[in-house]
Structure 1
Amino acid sequence: MNTLEELFPSEPTFFGTWQTLYLEPIVGSGERISVAVVAIGNNNQYGIIQAIRSELLECLYGSQSQNMQSIIDWLIESASNELKLHRSLSEWTAPFGGVILGSIHPAADDSIEGILKQAIRFTASLSTLALDAEREEDEFQSKRYSEQWATSIFDEIKTINPNLSNCFKKRLKISESNLLTSFGFMNEKYVSNFGLLVPTRLSTSLNNVKAKLFDLEALKKSQVLIKPQIYEIIIGTPSLSDPTLTDTSVKRLRETIDMVTEVAASEDIKLFRAENAREAAIHINKIAA
């Protein structure tokens, strides 16, 4: 009997509702994009997350993607404040036009995150389908994401410990050629490079990470007289529990992280995974200051 029961999924333990926030990029056009989803538990727990990933916004809107991101951030902040006060959006008024609040759907899962995943799966094709779609890899785009990641870490360090600001973007001659190799951060005891694993461009972003690892390995084995004691690569990734990631995306991302960790360890290079630039900056300050 126990064996038979194991064939069926366990009964959900968390109950609530979800609904979607739609945005008309051109007000009155009728064109709608799912930009956020809300989940409210029967115990009054709630969650609200962006339903379209930032890298997809960049693909859709190019140079205007930051403006679109700011609009979505404003919308989510307004809805979140309403949820804090009333645990409902029934009386909420959006801060600008072109916002449509979707129907309320009952749901059950094991957590609020599970219900948010349901909302994403049923209403946000730009989030789920685009993550698992086959696409041509864009090396230039992946490098640009990586550069933005490094700049964000630098900006955070300036607020945490400005004394470390001059340790960023160090260039060093580590071979007999006259070429200089760049490193994300370097001082007398610690050096790190910054990589970013983007779920929608995993192959090319992995190649960039491997190149960063190779530079650290080359420095470690070089004839440079004064070298840092600690070598590390800091990898930026979304949270593995991010509801906007499909199970397939999470599996691929987890396997890629494990592979990079193994490659780094083989050269005695540490790996630190950060989900945002501030987390990375705090880590650098703790080790290098």
Structure 2
Amino acid sequence: MFDAILFPSAPSFFAEWRTVYFEPIPNSGEKIAILIAIKEISGKIEIFDALHPTVIDSLYGAKATSFNGYIKLIKSNLLKNNGESTIDGVSIGDWHASQSENIHGIVRQALYKTASLGSVALRGLFEEDSHIENEQVDSRWSKRIKNAVIEIDPSYEKSFDVKIPIGRDVRIPCGFHTSRYSAKFNVCTSQTITRMKSNLMDLQIFDSHNVSNNFDLIIQMPTDDNLQVSLKTLARMKENIELLKEEVASKSNIQIYTCNSEEEGATRIFEMLKVS
């Protein structure tokens, strides 16, 4: 009966995982999963983020940079202490034995089983069309790129968050603007193609009025191996980006640039300033 059925082979990667929690208010009992620690059979410890940068922005706003720095400190502490923490306000779950195809499969299991406020917020962001929330996410992405740029060259600080006059009574916001090059910024989520289309329309207006030589829509995208975004969601997001690229294919002065971090976004801006 079962001769013609092919069963998948058993996962060959074995490891243990444990979740690292942060307690925002000491002794409150509230905990947020911030990291996943993986211990391979060899004893090697690897640490993975449980919170997507976009979620950290949403949760902590102006304090997101400080919180990211705190997470880096905790990571360093865990690696120095073989997966244990010596920092106040940090608690760690038990080790759990597991197996999967690779280490990323183990991490996904850990994230699923210890769903935190962060992962719930991420699902809401990528699966629901929350106009206000996504505008805030875009704004924080723009601010992160701004900080990355002015850290390298502070003279460009006034080039961010500019309202460009079009005609007599219209002023259109622009994330970054110089006479040579202008850019707008979006974070790609599964249902936010409308917002990105709106920014492309603004760039087309800028182009038709010759406000700059070249234009970018700089979009933050999860990487292919991102642990917090499902493969199905990521595929839908890529489809949206391809649709947008088809729309601007004939517009030589406008490009869509995707990246994962504000450092990559800043690098793109400086590259375009050189060639524009």
Q: TM-score, normalised by structure 1?
A: 0.77
Give matches, 1:177-188, under 5 Å.
177-188=168-179
Q: In structure 2, how many angstroms separate the alpha carbons of the residues matched to 1:70 and 1:229?
A: 37
Partner Cα separation in structure 1 for residue 61 and residue 146 of structure 2: 22
The AA in structure 1 aligned to 2:206 is L
- Aligned counterpart, 1:240: 224
Matched AA of 1:157: V
Structure 1 stretches lacking a partner, 5+ long: none
Structure 2 equivalent of residue 217 of structure 1: 204
* Residue 146 of structure 1: how far off its partner (Å): 1.4
The more displaced of 138-147 and 160-169 is 160-169
1:278 alignment counterpart = 263
By how many angstroms is 1:43 displaced?
Answer: 4.3
Identical aligned residues as a percent? 25
Aligned to 1:115: 106
- Who is 1:189 aligned against? 180
Q: Which of residues 64, 70, 74 is equivalent to 1:74?
A: 70
Aligned residue for 2:249, secondary structure, equals: helix
> What is the DSSP-based 3-state SS (H/G/I as helix, E as strand, rest coil) of the residue aligned with 2:137?
helix
SS of residue in 1 equivalent to 2:173: strand
- Counterpart of 1:37 in structure 2 is 36
> Which residue is 1:172 aligned to?
164
Which of 272-281 and 32-41 deviates more?
32-41
Alpha-carbon deviations, 1:120-151, whole Å to 9, x = none? 11212545555445976332222222122222
Secondary structure, aligned partner of 1:271: strand
Query: 1:243-276 CA distances to partner (integer Å, 9 max, x unpaired)?
Result: 1222333233222222233333243321111211
Tell me whether 1:257 sits opposite 2:241 in the alignment.
Answer: yes
Once residues 194 and 28 of structure 2 are traced to their aligned partners in structure 1, the CA distance between those partners, rounded to angstroms, is 41
> Conserved in 1, the CA contact under 8 Å of 2:23 and 2:32?
yes
Correspondence for 1:162 = 154
Number of residue pairs matched? Answer: 270
Structure 1 residues 239 and 186, CA gap change in structure 2 (3 angstroms): same
Any conservation in 2 of the 1:19–1:39 contact (CA below 8 Å)?
A: yes
Alignment partner, residue 215 of structure 2? 231
